[in-house]
Copies of this chain bind each other. A is one copy, B any other.
Amino acid sequence: MKDKKKYTYEYPRPALATDCVIFGFDGGSLKLLLTEREKEPFKNKWALPGGFVHMDETTDECAERILKEKVGVKNVFVEQLYTFSETDRDPRERVVSVSYFALVNKHQYELVAGRDTLKAEWFELADLPKLAFDHSKIVKMAILRLKGKVSYQPIGFELLNEKFTLSQLQSLYEAILETSIDKRNFRKKILSLGILKVLEEKEKNVARKAAWYYSFDKKAYKELTQKGIYFEI
């Protein structure tokens, strides 16, 4: 035991970790991806996927690594959320957590996940279990951030497939903002931004009028924001 401890410093240091709040959308409601803890403390409790920051990686890189290694997702939208530093947030010793929030397309995720990842499960945002550590607090902040951000940055698209219908997009906004939006006004607004392109493809095998698919036009969005024009829904 003593032998293991080999990194020595002049002053005490907190451990530094990263925790990830991972949002997904299944067409109806927002979900959160949680992992079951394998060890004490909080063994068998649900928690945000997280881990300690390595000496050769930034916290951003650490978050990406956790997303990939622990839950099998990569190339997704990740953004730093907040740093939590309450001295007693981990019962073992002091751990400061730089938290991140990620937006994942649930369908893509289901293809990648599985292998040597942790036991992970999607939970309804409205029906979360009690979480380990201060993770409920972190989730709360992430939800606020997502709500705030979604109306002035096109991050919502990260939660959908590359092609999507306007109704799907509207459902997503309604789920995030917890409100209902008038269909005509929504379409008017979102199309007027000029950041969507209609594809030459409709839904198939639906027992109703098929909807056109759209995709997010990243180039148009970049031009828009570079000109200093704010996106707002």
Residues of B within 8 Å of A53, CB to CB, are 14, 85, 96
Contact between chains at A87 and B55 (CB < 8 Å): yes
Which of A1-9, A21-29, A101-109, A122-130 touches B? A1-9
Contact between chains at B10 and A96 (CB < 8 Å): no
Closest to A3 in B: B10
Which A residues, 31 to 68, have Cβ-Cβ distances below 8 Å to chain B? 52-53, 55-60
Residues of B within 8 Å of A9, CB to CB, are 5, 7-9, 13, 15
Which A residues, 174 to 227, have Cβ-Cβ distances below 8 Å to chain B? none
Contact between chains at B10 and A87 (CB < 8 Å): no
Interface residues on A, range: 20 to 34
Contact between chains at A59 and B13 (CB < 8 Å): no
Residues of B within 8 Å of A94, CB to CB, are 55
Oligomer: number of copies:
2
Contact between chains at B11 and A8 (CB < 8 Å): no
- Most chain B CB atoms below 10 A, which of A16, A57, A98: A16
Partner of A8, one of B7, B52, B83: B7
- Most chain B CB atoms below 10 A, which of A60, A83, A87: A83
Contact between chains at B56 and A85 (CB < 8 Å): no
Contact between chains at A6 and B16 (CB < 8 Å): no
Known A5-B8, A6-B8, A7-B8; judge A87-B57 contact (CB<8 A): yes
Contact between chains at B13 and A6 (CB < 8 Å): no
Contact between chains at B15 and A13 (CB < 8 Å): yes
Residues of B within 8 Å of A83, CB to CB, are 59, 80, 83, 98
Q: How far is the CA of A133 from the CA of B12 in the complex (A)?
A: 23
Contact between chains at B14 and A13 (CB < 8 Å): yes
> What 20 new A-B contacts, CB under 8 Å, besides A16-B96, A58-B85, A83-B98?
A4-B10, A5-B9, A7-B9, A7-B10, A7-B13, A9-B13, A9-B15, A11-B52, A13-B13, A14-B53, A14-B55, A53-B85, A53-B96, A55-B87, A58-B86, A58-B87, A59-B83, A80-B82, A80-B83, A85-B98
